[in-house]
Amino acid sequence: MVIIGGGIIGLCVGYYAQRRGYRVTIVERGERGDDSCSVGNAGMIVPSHFTPLAAPGMVAMGLKWMGSPESPFYLKPRLDWDLWRWGLRFWRASTPERVRMAAPLIRDLSWASRECYEELAERVGLVFGLEKRGLLMLSKTEKGHEEERRMAVKAVALGISAEVLDGAGVAVLEPNITMDVVGGVYFSQDCHLSPNRFLECLERAIDAGGGAWSYGADVLGWKKVGNKLGAVVTTKGEVEGDEFVLCGGAWSSELGKQLGLELPLQAGKGYALTLSEPREMPKICAILTEARVAVTPMGSGLRFGGTMEFSGLHGEIDPRRVRGIIRAAPKYYPHFREEDFEGIRPWSGLRPCSPDGLPYLGRVGNYANLVVATGHAMMGLSLGPITGKLVADILSGVEPKIGLGLLDPDRFMGGRRRYPVNLSKG
In this model, does residue 425 exceed pLDDT 70?
no
Cα separation of 300 and 205, whole Å? 26
Across the chain, what does the average pLDDT equal? 92
In this model, does residue 240 exceed pLDDT 90?
yes
In this model, does residue 52 exceed pLDDT 80?
yes
Cα separation of 216 and 29, whole Å? 5
Find the range with the poorest average confidence among 12-21, 52-61, 362-371. Answer: 52-61
Q: What is the pTM of this model?
A: 0.94
Q: pLDDT at position 70, please?
A: 81
Cα separation of 55 and 74, whole Å? 17
252 inside domain: yes
How many Cα atoms sit within 13 Å of 254 on the Cβ side? 13
Q: pLDDT at position 282, please?
A: 97
413 inside domain: no
Q: pLDDT at position 32, please?
A: 79
426 inside domain: no
Ordered DSSP codes for 72-94 = SEEE-----HHHHHHHHHHHHH-
Number of structural domains (the chain) is: 1
Mean pLDDT of 206-211: 96
Buried b / exposed e along 132-141 (16+ C-beta atoms within 10 A): ebbbbbbbbe
For residue range 298-354, list pLDDT tens digits in order.
989 999 999 999 888 888 899 999 999 999 999 999 999 999 999 999 999 999 999
In this model, does residue 371 exceed pLDDT 80?
yes
328 inside domain: yes
Q: pLDDT at position 38, please?
A: 78
423 inside domain: no
In this model, does residue 421 exceed pLDDT 50?
no
Q: pLDDT at position 63, please?
A: 74
Q: pLDDT at position 68, please?
A: 77
In this model, does residue 67 exceed pLDDT 80?
no
In this model, does residue 419 exceed pLDDT 90?
no
Which structural domain, as residue segments, surrounds residue 61?
Answer: 2-407
In this model, does residue 238 exceed pLDDT 50?
yes
Classified as helix, coil or strand, 400 is coil
CATH number of the domain enclosing 94:
3.50.50.60
395 inside domain: yes
Binned at pLDDT 50, 70 and 90, residue 24 comes out as very high
For residue range 209-231, list pLDDT tens digits in order.
999 999 999 999 999 999 999 99
State CA 408 to chain mean position distance: 18
425 inside domain: no
422 inside domain: no
Buried b / exposed e along 368-400 (16+ C-beta atoms within 10 A): ebbbbbbbbbbbbbbbbbbbbbbbbbbbeeeeb
Buried b / exposed e along 70-109 (16+ C-beta atoms within 10 A): bbbbbbeeeeeeebeebbebbeebbeeebbeebbebbbbb
Cα separation of 181 and 375, whole Å? 34
Provide the residue type at 299 as one letter: G
Q: pLDDT at position 124, please?
A: 66
Which residues, 6+ apart, have CB-to-CB distance to 379 below 8 Å?
49, 106, 110, 359
Mean pLDDT of 40-59: 90
Mean pLDDT of 112-132: 91
In this model, does residue 277 exceed pLDDT 90?
yes
Alpha helices in 240-379 (DSSP H): 252-257, 319-332
Cα separation of 188 and 177, whole Å? 18
Mean pLDDT of 273-282: 97
Cα separation of 322 and 291, whole Å? 12
Mean pLDDT of 157-184: 97
Binned at pLDDT 50, 70 and 90, residue 415 comes out as low
Phi, psi at residue 211, to the nearest 5°? -65, 150
In this model, does residue 289 exceed pLDDT 50?
yes
